[in-house]
């Protein structure tokens, strides 16, 4: 098919939507390292994890051999409310950049949660309901995940308790209000409602919180409340599995029009979006069926892949969670307060960390001023106001397209546009007023975080 025949937006039919998630771990020769029990340093078993996670989700978490896993009908029905999401040919951006490159983006912001997070939220809520639970607990930072989970819980009539990083809770009252619309309770973290919260408040009075603190509180509540479990919006293997729906739809749409991407770009915080987008393409690369360049884009202020250590580390600040092997800045690392938006987690998905370590994926870090420049440029021609997180991918997509302009190469660039920026206007305002600054931690800043990485034989060698 010629390029001219490609529509602005490619929507799959409902019957073309995936019926199975794709588990990229099954095709990895060297598997991601397992979660470890921090007491025994032995791999966490199904039984070890049962007090924290839903049973079926533990099975998915531990399963690194089954390539395709059925998406239950109930979840597929919910997906139909907002999926398939469009794969957009960025004709207007291409024209503006005057580039020979062809740019595509998979837009996941067309649902009320405003991001891709809903893809995993609905799956996790479904399994919780199926298990007969009363409710779930979670943490949220910028608020996309909390919103998605509250929507999913409302649909299945599950109680939803969200611990929201205090600084976001105060700066984003509207995010909180959306969650309340969907019936969730929202508590600023750290709080006095948990033992770990009290401990953190005593040690750091006046702290504005972090994702790591909020995780610790949510896990404590889940494990101490009858009929509750903890759920998480990124980092975990199960989340990447659910998010593979992004990549699977993208690949089906591209195959339908005979499009082959050269470069696939995604923003990376915990890895949920990037992992989901690249999974089926990475599967082909792992099997030698095709080759692609993958680029993970992270904030210069929270550079876990580009400047972190590949080591076992705690997933949370309170150290109540298992150890995960990942590129990490240390569980005590807190990004500078001037950092806008999400992508502020100290570690990176074990799957993506392992793929990166094997050289199958590249990583790049970008400063936030350059990110907002790209966001505004994109918004003006493509008509979508992107989230700061997503705009990291836009930045690098534009950079690559401009490189094509220099070299004359007609590359096909695909990136993930994970969400919209309606709740991030404070950051946009700072940018418009010239008040946005870039913070790049120096090696001394990073050292304190690294010092908190647990020391045991074989770790951090």
Residues binding its own copies (CB under 8 A): 7-9, 11, 13-14, 78, 80-82, 92, 110-112, 114, 118, 151, 154-155, 173-174, 177-178, 180-183, 376, 379-385, 420, 422-423, 425-426, 428-429, 432
Question: Do the Cβ atoms of 149 and 138 come closer than 8 Å?
Answer: yes
Those residues whose C-beta lies under 8 Å from the C-beta of residue 435, and which sit 6 or more positions away, are none
Question: Do the Cβ atoms of 15 and 79 come closer than 8 Å?
Answer: no
Nearest distance from residue 177's CB to its own copies, in Å?
4
Three-state SS for 185?
strand
The backbone torsions φ and ψ at residue 255, rounded to the nearest 5 degrees and listed phi first, read -60, -40
A 10 A CB-CB count for 51 gives 12
Nearest distance from residue 79's CB to its own copies, in Å?
9
164, β-bridge pairs? 140, 188
Nearest distance from residue 122's CB to its own copies, in Å?
9
Structure tokens at 15: 């019957």
Residue number with CB closer to its own copies (13 or 443):
13
Three-state SS for 94?
helix
Residue number with CB closer to its own copies (9 or 256):
9
Those residues whose C-beta lies under 8 Å from the C-beta of residue 48, and which sit 6 or more positions away, are 37, 322
Those residues whose C-beta lies under 8 Å from the C-beta of residue 178, and which sit 6 or more positions away, are 112, 143, 147, 150
Residue number with CB closer to its own copies (11 or 292):
11
Q: How many DSSP H helices and E strands does the chain contain? A: 18, 15
Nearest distance from residue 450's CB to its own copies, in Å?
38
- The gap from C-alpha 88 to its chain's centroid, in whole angstroms, comes to 21
Those residues whose C-beta lies under 8 Å from the C-beta of residue 55, and which sit 6 or more positions away, are 127, 131
Nearest distance from residue 447's CB to its own copies, in Å?
38
Nearest distance from residue 164's CB to its own copies, in Å?
15
Nearest distance from residue 375's CB to its own copies, in Å?
8
Residue number with CB closer to its own copies (84 or 271):
84
Which secondary-structure segment (H or E) carries 408? Answer: none
Residue number with CB closer to its own copies (80 or 224):
80
Nearest distance from residue 187's CB to its own copies, in Å?
16
Between CA 389 and CA 303 the distance in angstroms is 14
Structure tokens at 327: 């590129």
Three-state SS for 176?
helix
């Amino acid at each position: 098919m010629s390029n001219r025949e490609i529509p602005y937006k490619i929507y799959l039919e409902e019957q073309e939507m995936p019926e199975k998630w794709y588990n990229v771990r099954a095709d990895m020769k060297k598997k991601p390292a397992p979660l470890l029990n921090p007491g025994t340093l032995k791999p966490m078993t199904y039984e070890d994890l049962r007090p924290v996670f839903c049973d079926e989700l533990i099975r998915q978490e531990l399963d690194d051999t089954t390539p395709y896993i059925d998406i239950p009908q109930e979840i597929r029905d919910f997906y139909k409310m907002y999926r398939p999401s469009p794969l957009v040919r960025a004709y207007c951006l291409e024209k503006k950049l005057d580039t020979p490159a062809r740019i595509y983006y998979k837009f996941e912001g067309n649902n009320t949660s405003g991001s891709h997070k809903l893809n995993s939220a609905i799956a996790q809520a479904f399994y919780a309901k199926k298990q007969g639970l009363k409710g779930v607990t979670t943490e949220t930072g910028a608020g996309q995940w909390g919103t998605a989970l509250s929507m999913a819980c409302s649909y299945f009539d599950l109680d939803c308790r969200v611990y929201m990083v205090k600084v976001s809770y105060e700066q984003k009252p509207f995010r909180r209000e959306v969650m309340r619309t969907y019936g969730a309770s929202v508590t600023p973290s750290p709080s006095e409602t948990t033992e770990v919260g009290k401990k953190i408040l005593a040690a750091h009075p006046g702290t504005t919180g972090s994702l790591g603190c909020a995780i610790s509180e949510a896990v404590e509540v889940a494990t101490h409340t009858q009929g509750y479990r903890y759920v998480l919006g990124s980092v975990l293997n199960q989340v990447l599995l659910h998010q593979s729906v992004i990549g699977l739809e993208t690949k089906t749409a591209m195959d339908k029009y005979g499009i082959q991407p050269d470069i696939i770009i995604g923003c990376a915080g915990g890895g949920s979006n990037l992992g989901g987008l690249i999974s089926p393409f990475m599967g082909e690369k792992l099997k030698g069926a095709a080759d692609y360049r993958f680029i993970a884009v992270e904030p210069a202020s929270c550079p876990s892949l580009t400047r972190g250590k590949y080591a076992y580390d705690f997933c949370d600040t309170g150290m109540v969670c298992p150890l995960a092997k990942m590129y990490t800045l240390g569980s005590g690392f807190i990004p500078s307060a001037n950092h806008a938006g999400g992508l502020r987690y100290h570690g990176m998905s074990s799957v993506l960390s392992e793929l990166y370590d094997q050289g199958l994926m590249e990583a790049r870090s970008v400063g936030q001023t350059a990110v907002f420049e790209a966001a505004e440029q994109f918004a003006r021609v493509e008509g979508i106001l992107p989230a700061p997180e997503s705009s990291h991918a836009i930045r690098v997509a534009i950079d690559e397209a401009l490189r094509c302009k220099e070299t004359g190469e007609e590359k096909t660039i695909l990136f993930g546009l994970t969400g919209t920026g309606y709740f991030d206007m404070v950051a946009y305002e700072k940018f418009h007023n010239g008040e946005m600054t870039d913070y790049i931690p120096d090696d001394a800043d990073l050292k304190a975080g690294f010092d908190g990485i647990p020391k045991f034989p074989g770790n951090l060698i």
